[in-house]
């Protein structure tokens, strides 16, 4: 077989060294009645056939339209160097850094990623990443429960409905009292999202102050690209900042792999779940990095662990770090300005619809169309546009409501053509 | 090596955008951050060199033999990367699955998900599988949530406890706790497998399930697994299969046929997707008949030639935003399709052959932890070396000096001074021989030059690191 190098001669020599007649003998500890009889797996395919087969499946997906679909996951440009560097096999095919002396590349990149997340969010500590933005909401909720020893988790209306569903599934059997609203009284935390699922940018500083007074934590779920411009969770007094890092160099990929970001304040770092890389020295005083605070983790603490998380998303975290480094301090701000400005430009072209956001938005906003959003989206496909997310389909609006996202990839020509087509389709 | 932030110089740039082709807009000042994020300011070439140098301070399976027991570091085939990089898959927006208006957009992806779920279920003798869980431990949590849903549905409110062997991965107890269960630990017997009498005593009416790794983390097939399943089912307790070591038995026996009700697969282990320094993984969950109605939803279902979504009647809900780590699943799909029916059987045969070969070559120099027949990994204890002052960690570091990654030494907790070695099927006899030669040389040095082993590693980018200082003088970010 292609990926097994053993020859028949090797096999014979190895069996002789082991002292058995054939490989079957090596499976003697499996009781005979338990051995497999048959299965319905298709025959193998050559590498060339696999390539053609997957290409044919990919071709069955529709693609090629100009997209305005967001809803927490965005079609941002991925700089070429992100793929080139994160694809280096010394990163790509490595494991969790259990032998730090030979995994300094992993560990230093995690340390630098943690630093980038702190600088981005205005927080003091970050972990080495979590699975994605939705599981980060769950981990933040349980972290707040550990810190406050309270059990009420308040979900602000700004939160992505997908995250809400995921939280309910994950917390089904835990002593959590999950309620809607923004009242921090007796709460472990209030979880807000900024910009909101519908794109509204707000300042949660006052809510943060109310949380502190009530001894509840403020958890802010953020959209990383917005932090090129928008007030940070740290500036708003957040205790835990979480986010979906897909926009930082991860392909959309039909749902993953993505990147869960988590950062917190100094007081709470020992209650934070997940891997953390820390700086130290070797015997000669040279700087090096190790996984640290491992006593919080499942492999040491077992039933008393902060979380069951074992793997993080190290490769995705590396992609985010490279992505942010390529944009750099000024470039990242310009990226945010471009996204915001293009969305504002489009918003102004949509006079025939009602913008549902009362307050400022970043690069995404919701409109109420003169016709059903689903029908409009179907018709827009004919014009070469993916018009956005019909909000009723995710339980976040009326049948005529559409969520529209704009990234730096959209040109003025595309915005103009989109606005014209949307008006024609909606008002005809 | 310098941090990327130490290489930053004000005004230096890598990427630029085209000039803004719309009027520049401004957010109200009170909604804006005070200062720009202090991201690196560097030219692209310096960024490229920085990460290239970092990569040179790392090793992956493409560099060297990486025999981490229970982690299954096998070769990651390159065709899988080509498959996952198809723009029609990589650029597919997940919200296409949120509205029926976009159903045509994802027919190919749905077909792939549907077929991969079916083949994963078939590989393990399960009724169905769901790709939703995002990592192995997330699959465990999902499995535990499924067990909880089953018992709640049946009115088994008293079933609040899960039995877990002392040799289990730490994720098992942690996941069970997160799903709301209590955990009791069952000791291994001296043979390294579950103590059957102790199990029978522990199996009270309150037991909701048992989580087993099979072969277990001692590398041994659980010889009483059929009896354990029968006893458990008599009490309406469910059997969870931790798929971490599925590589040992794929094509030889199937968890579903052994009596397991629910399991997770580590696609990065058995199905060779890259580990990425510890993630992303992908941890689909498989279920037998009993747990079928509770699977996470929505699920891809086939109606004629078309695919659409449906949520099982008693679904626990969503554990992932969409369909798990889809692009990882695509890699596993390419792997499965390449090997197919007969090829998969060769995987386990060669994995087990290689582990037993290493065991045969090293058992004279290192003490085998157990006397039973090892499967895909062998476990030694360096206890006799430790008596002479050389510990498992010294042996591990000496291996790094000799160009190999080290075996797992921190686990299982049941074996002192453990060396858990898993070669996988993708290593040649020459590689195994070179590794064994290094291990034998190290064993000889225990008597002749133990100081050289205490000093190891010396051929690595940094020497032995002070882990206590890292925790005491906590510095996790440069601000």
Q: How far apart are CA A274 and CA A393, in angstroms?
A: 33
Q: Is A311 on the interface with B (CB under 8 A)?
A: yes
Interface test with B, best of A256, A321, A339 (most B CBs within 10 A): A256
Q: How far apart are CA A31 and CA A34, in angstroms?
A: 6
By C-alpha distance, the chain A residue nearest B251 is A36
Distance from CA of B362 to the nearest CA of A (A): 11
Confidence bin at A278 (pLDDT 50/70/90): very high
Per-residue pLDDT, averaged over A172-183, amounts to 96
Q: How far apart are CA B386 and CA B392, in angstroms?
A: 7
Q: According to the model, what pLDDT value does residue A300 have?
A: 80
Q: Is A38 on the interface with B (CB under 8 A)?
A: no
- Cβ of B343 and A1 within 8 Å? yes
Instruction: Report angle CA B338, B343, B348 to the nearest 5 degrees.
Output: 125
Confidence bin at B411 (pLDDT 50/70/90): confident
To which residue do tokens 């090797």 refer? Answer: A10
Dihedrals phi, psi of A400, to nearest 5 degrees: -90, 5
Per-residue pLDDT, averaged over A107-125, amounts to 98
Q: According to the model, what pLDDT value does residue A1 have?
A: 60
Which pLDDT tens digit goes with each residue over B437-454?
A: 999 999 999 999 999 999
Tell me the residues of chain A between 260 and 279 that have a Cβ less than 8 Å away from chain B.
269, 275-279
Residues from chain A that touch B242, judged by Cβ atoms under 8 A, are none
Which pLDDT tens digit goes with each residue over A398-412?
A: 999 999 999 999 999
ipTM: 0.98
Whether residue A305 has pLDDT greater than 90: no
To which residue do tokens 């078309």 refer? Answer: B306
Q: How far apart are CA B353 and CA B381, in angstroms?
A: 21
Identify whether the C-beta of residue B267 lies closer than 8 Å to the C-beta of residue B332.
Answer: yes
Interface test with A, best of B3, B34, B95 (most A CBs within 10 A): B95
Tokens read off for A106: 């992993």
Tokens read off for A229: 């411009």
Residues 6+ apart with CB under 8 A from B373: A26, A28, A29, B220, B221, B356
Residue A389, strand partner residues? A403
Select from B107, B171, B105 the least CA-distant residue to B144.
B171
Tokens read off for B228: 């354990």
- Cβ of B89 and A132 within 8 Å? no
By C-alpha distance, the chain B residue nearest A304 is B174
End-to-end CA distance of chain B: 18
Q: Is A419 on the interface with B (CB under 8 A)?
A: no
Q: How far apart are CA B476 and CA A177, in angstroms?
A: 33
Q: How many CB pairs under 8 A join A and B?
A: 691
Among A307-316, A414-423, B377-386, B456-465, name the one with the lowest average pLDDT.
Answer: A307-316
- Cβ of A92 and B478 within 8 Å? no
Per-residue pLDDT, averaged over B365-385, amounts to 97
To which residue do tokens 């890292």 refer? Answer: B470
Whether residue A298 has pLDDT greater than 90: no
- Cβ of B328 and A257 within 8 Å? yes
Residue B120, strand partner residues? none
| Residue A182 exposed, middle or buried by CB count within 10 Å (0-12, 13-18, 19+) | middle
CA B471 to chain centroid: 26
A120: nearest CB among B12, B37, B95: B37
Whether residue B13 has pLDDT greater than 90: yes
Q: How far apart are CA A89 and CA A100, in angstroms?
A: 18
- Maximum Cα–Cα distance across chain A: 82
- Cβ of A390 and B101 within 8 Å? yes
Identify whether the C-beta of residue A172 lies closer than 8 Å to the C-beta of residue B180.
Answer: yes
pTM: 0.98
CA A112 to chain centroid: 18
- Cβ of B47 and A313 within 8 Å? no
Which pLDDT tens digit goes with each residue over B214-259?
A: 999 999 999 999 999 999 999 999 999 999 999 999 999 999 999 9
Which pLDDT tens digit goes with each residue over A182-191?
A: 999 999 999 9
Tell me the residues of chain A between 70 and 109 that have a Cβ less than 8 Å away from chain B.
70-73, 75, 79, 81, 84-85, 87-106, 108-109
Interface test with A, best of B48, B103, B470, B479 (most A CBs within 10 A): B470
B61: nearest CB among A26, A54, A93: A93
- Cβ of B148 and A173 within 8 Å? yes
DSSP per residue over B229-292, as a string? HHHHHHTT-EEEEEGGGGGGTTTT--HHHHT--EEE--TTTTT----TTT------EEE-GGGG
Strands (E), A184-256: 187-194, 217-222, 240-244
Identify whether the C-beta of residue B117 lies closer than 8 Å to the C-beta of residue B284.
Answer: yes
């Amino acid at each position: 077989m292609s990926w097994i190098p053993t020859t028949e001669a090797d096999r014979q020599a190895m069996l002789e060294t082991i002292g058995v007649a054939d490989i079957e003998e090596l499976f003697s500890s499996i009781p005979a009645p338990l051995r497999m009889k048959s299965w319905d797996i298709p025959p193998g395919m050559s590498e060339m056939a696999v390539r053609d087969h997957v290409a044919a499946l990919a071709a069955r997906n529709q693609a090629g339209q100009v997209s305005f679909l967001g809803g927490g996951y965005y079609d941002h440009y991925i700089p070429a160097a992100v793929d080139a560097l994160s694809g280096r096999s010394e990163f790509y095919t490595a494991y969790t850094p259990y032998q730090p002396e030979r995994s300094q590349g992993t560990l230093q990149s995690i340390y630098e990623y943690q630093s980038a997340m702190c600088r981005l969010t205005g927080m003091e500590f970050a972990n080495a990443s979590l699975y994605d933005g939705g599981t980060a909401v769950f981990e933040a909720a349980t972290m707040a429960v550990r810190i406050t020893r309270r059990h009420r988790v308040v979900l602000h209306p700004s939160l992505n409905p997908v995250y809400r569903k995921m939280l309910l599934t994950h917390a089904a059997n835990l002593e959590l009292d999950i309620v809607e609203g923004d009242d921090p009284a007796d709460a472990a935390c209030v979880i807000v999202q900024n910009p909101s699922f519908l794109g509204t940018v707000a300042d949660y500083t006052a809510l943060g102050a109310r949380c502190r007074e009530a001894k509840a934590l403020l958890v802010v779920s953020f959209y990383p690209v917005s932090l090129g411009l928008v007030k940070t969770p740290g500036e708003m007094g957040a205790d835990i900042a979480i986010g979906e890092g897909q926009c930082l160099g991860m392909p959309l990929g039909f749902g993953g792999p993505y990147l869960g970001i988590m950062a917190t304040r100094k007081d709470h770092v020992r209650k934070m779940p997940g891997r953390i890389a820390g700086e130290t020295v070797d015997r000669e005083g040279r700087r090096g990095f190790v996984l640290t605070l491992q006593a919080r983790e499942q492999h040491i603490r077992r039933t008393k662990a902060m979380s069951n998380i074992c793997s993080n998303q190290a490769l995705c975290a590396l992609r985010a770090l490279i992505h942010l480094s390529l944009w750099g301090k000024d470039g990242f701000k310009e990226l945010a300005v471009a996204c915001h400005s293009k969305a504002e430009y489009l918003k102004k072209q949509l006079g025939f619809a009602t913008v549902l956001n009362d307050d400022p938005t970043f690069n995404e906003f919701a409109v109420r169309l003169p016709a059903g959003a689903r029908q409009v989206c179907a018709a827009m496909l004919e014009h070469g546009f993916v018009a956005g997310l019909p909000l009723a389909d995710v339980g976040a609006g009326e049948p005529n409501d559409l969520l529209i996202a704009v990234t730096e990839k959209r040109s003025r020509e595309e915005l103009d053509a989109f606005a014209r087509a949307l008006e024609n389709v909606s008002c005809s | 090596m310098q941090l990327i932030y130490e290489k930053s110089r004000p005004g230096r740039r890598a990427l630029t955008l085209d000039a803004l082709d719309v009027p520049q807009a401004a957010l109200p000042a009170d909604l804006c951050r005070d200062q720009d994020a202090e991201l690196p300011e560097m030219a692209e070439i310096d960024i490229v060199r920085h990460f290239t140098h970092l990569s040179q301070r790392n090793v992956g399976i493409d560099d060297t033999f990486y025999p981490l027991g229970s982690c299954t570091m096998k070769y990651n085939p390159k065709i899988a990367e080509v498959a996952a990089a198809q723009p029609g898959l990589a650029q597919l927006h997940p919200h296409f699955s949120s509205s029926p208006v976009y159903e045509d957009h994802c027919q190919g992806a749905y077909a792939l998900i549907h077929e991969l779920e079916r083949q994963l279920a078939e590989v393990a003798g399960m009724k169905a599988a769901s790709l939703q869980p995002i990592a192995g431990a997330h699959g465990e949590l999902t499995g535990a949530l499924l067990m909880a849903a089953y018992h709640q549905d049946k009115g088994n409110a008293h079933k609040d406890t899960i039995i877990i062997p002392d040799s289990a991965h730490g994720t098992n107890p942690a996941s069970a706790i997160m799903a709301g269960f209590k955990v009791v630990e069952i000791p291994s017997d001296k043979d390294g497998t579950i103590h059957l009498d102790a199990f029978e005593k522990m199996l009270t009416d309150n037991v909701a399930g048992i989580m087993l790794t099979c072969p277990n983390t001692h590398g041994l097939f659980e010889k009483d697994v059929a009896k354990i399943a029968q006893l458990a089912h008599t009490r309406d307790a469910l059997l969870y299969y931790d798929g971490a070591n599925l590589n040992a038995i794929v094509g030889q026996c199937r968890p579903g046929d052994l009596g397991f009700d629910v399991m997770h697969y580590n696609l990065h282990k058995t199905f060779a997707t890259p580990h990425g320094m510890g993630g992303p993984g992908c941890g689909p969950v498989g279920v037998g008949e009993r747990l079928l109605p509770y699977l996470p939803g929505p699920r891809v279902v086939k109606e004629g030639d078309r695919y659409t979504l449906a949520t099982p009647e008693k679904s626990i809900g969503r554990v992932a935003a969409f369909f798990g780590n889809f692009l990882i699943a695509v890699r596993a799909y390419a792997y499965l399709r390449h090997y197919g029916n007969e090829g998969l059987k060769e995987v386990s045969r060669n994995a087990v052959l290689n582990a037993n070969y290493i065991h045969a070559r090293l058992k004279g120099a290192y003490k085998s932890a157990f006397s039973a027949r090892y499967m895909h990994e062998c476990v030694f204890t360096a206890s006799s070396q430790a008596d002479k002052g050389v510990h498992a960690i010294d042996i591990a570091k000496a291996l790094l000096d000799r160009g190999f990654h080290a075996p797992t030494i921190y686990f299982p907790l049941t074996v002192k001074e453990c060396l858990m070695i898993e070669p996988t099927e993708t290593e040649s006899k020459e590689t195994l021989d070179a590794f064994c030669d290094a291990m034998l040389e190290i064993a000889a040095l225990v008597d002749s030059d133990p100081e050289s082993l205490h000093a190891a590693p010396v051929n690595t980018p940094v020497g032995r690191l002070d882990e206590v200082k890292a925790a005491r003088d906590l510095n996790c970010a440069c601000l």
